Structures are given as C-alpha cells and as structure tokens.
Structure 1
Amino acid sequence: MSKKIIFTEKAPAAIGPYSQAVLAGNTLYVSGQIALDLAPLGDIKAETQRIMENLGHILAEAGMDYTNVVKSSIFLKKMDDFGIVNEVYGSFYPENPPARETVQVAKLPKDVNVEISVIAVK
C-alpha cells in the first residue's frame, strides 16, 4: 500500500507532529481542522465555514472533493451550537451526505469552538 502526505498552503499548516492529510491507497484521512486564523473569535458560523473551506482545499490537493467524503467527525465545545454547525456543514453536502458523528468535548486546540475531520475515498 502506498502512503502519501498531502499538504496545501491554502489550509493552515499542522500545529503539531501530524500531517494535514495522509493518502493511503485510495483513502484520504484528513486531520481535524480548526479555524486557526479565526481563533478565538467565537463566531461558530464563521469558524465552521472556514473549516469546511479548508477541508475543501485539502481534498482538492488530493484530487478529490466533498463528494468523495464517506465519514466526518465533528467535535463541539458546546452542543448548543449543533444547529448552526449542522446548517453550514450541510450546505457542503446537498446530496448524499457522508456518515458522521458529532460529540461535545471539554476543550479544543487554540480554544476554538469546533473541529472537523473527514475520511474520503477516490
């Protein structure tokens, strides 16, 4: 199985010992994305929009798009933000959305409000 590190300057660089994404065979594993440039803004809609755009840039670097996403994980600081995050997130998947879980967590890096990771397949 081949393994390729995926990186784009259009999305934030990793802030630790991890890659933006790893392509293993035909499967792309995208690390959790946060709205690093907006932290700690606190505007959950803006944060989610930026994260989804960053995910799109990473997917494109791997020759994919949102239609290739088969699984998403959403981590929220407050479950009260679920409705807003869901609305923005859903606008990127108008048909056949991927499998997903959404969980509330105690704290996220850089004190952001939301983090999203995805798995995509060619």
Structure 2
Amino acid sequence: MAEKMIVTSDAAPKAIGPYSLGVWAGDLLFVSGQTPTDPATGAIVDGDVVAQAHQAIKNVRAVLQAAGLDLADVVKSTLFIKDMNEFSRINEVYASYFTPPYPARSCVEVARLPKDVLVELEVVARRP
C-alpha cells in the first residue's frame, strides 16, 4: 500500500487546523476546503460573496498547481455556501474558472463556515 503524499503550497493559505492542504491517494488528489483567505496576509478578502468565491477558487487552484495539476483535472467539487440565495452569483464565478466537461459538483447551504466566510470550496482531482 502506497503512503499518503502531502501537498503544500506557499501560494495558498496555511491550514488553520490539524489538516493538510492536499493529500494524494493513488492518482487522486483530495484538496481540503479552501476559504477566501488571502495567502499573503492570512486575512479574509474584503468584499461580497463574489469576491470571496473568486479567492476560494484561486486558493484551490494554488494547491492543485503545487501538485502539478490545474482546475481542468478536478473530477468532483463541493461548494459550501452561507446563503443559497447567492447560488446564481457564486455559480457565475465558478463557471468563469471551470470549463466543460465540468466536474461533478455538490452545493450545500451551511449554518456557519470557518471565520464566518460566505463560501468554501473543496475538490478531488485526478492525475492525467
């Protein structure tokens, strides 16, 4: 059985708990949920759900790139959002980063996210 390989990135925010940014398991990379945290400052980006969605996706992309992958390699994503009324706005941002064929996706409204952010994104990607 192969060991887990951990992925880190200076271009993504540091973990705020006992978890890894990314973990390889065979040909699959599991990327932990990324919030709209500015990796340079550690602060949540200013702005509304659109600004936060852009930053969360950029943080996911940074972890993927550290592993030699990109958003096109994502096979499954899960969006956690604070308000389902913002779904269409978040969806527009999402569609500006992901292209067909789109990954499978779930989107759930949650009561609260870390640091009271409005959106968090986690993904599973595959090695080409």
Relative to the length of structure 2, the TM-score reads 0.90
1:88–1:67 Cα change, 3 Å: same
Superposed CA deviations along residues 68-98 of structure 1, whole A, max 9, x for unmatched, are 1000000011001101110001111122110
Q: RMSD of the alignment, in Å?
A: 1.3
Where 2:78 maps in the other structure, the secondary structure is strand
Aligned residues: 122
1:27-42 residue pairs with structure 2 within 5 A?
A: 27-37=28-38, 39=44, 41-42=46-47
Superposed CA deviations along residues 24-79 of structure 1, whole A, max 9, x for unmatched, are 11100000000123537451111110111111111011111111100000001100
Pick one of 52, 71, 79 that aligns with 1:74: 79
Relative to the length of structure 1, the TM-score reads 0.95
Distance in 2 separating the partners of 1:40 and 1:67:
25
- Contact 1:71-1:120 at 8 Å conserved across structures: yes
- Contact 2:72-2:99 at 8 Å conserved across structures: no
Where 1:57 maps in the other structure, the secondary structure is helix
**Structure 1 residue 119 and structure 2 residue 120: aligned?**
no
Superposed CA deviations along residues 78-122 of structure 1, whole A, max 9, x for unmatched, are 001101110001111122110001000000000000000000001
Where 1:56 maps in the other structure, the secondary structure is helix
**Structure 1 residue 98 and structure 2 residue 103: aligned?**
yes
Offset at residue 5 of structure 1 (A): 0.6
Q: Which 5+ residue runs of structure 1 have no aligned equivalent?
A: none
Q: Which 5+ residue runs of structure 2 have no aligned equivalent?
A: none
Where 2:72 maps in the other structure, the secondary structure is helix
Q: Flag as ranges the 4+ runs of structure 1 deviating above 3 A.
A: none
Where 1:63 maps in the other structure, the secondary structure is coil
**Structure 1 residue 24 and structure 2 residue 29: aligned?**
no
Percent identity between matched residues is: 45
Which residue of 2 is the match for residue 59 of structure 1?
A: 64
- Contact 1:40-1:110 at 8 Å conserved across structures: no
The one-letter code of the counterpart of 1:20 is L
Distance in 2 separating the partners of 1:18 and 1:72:
18
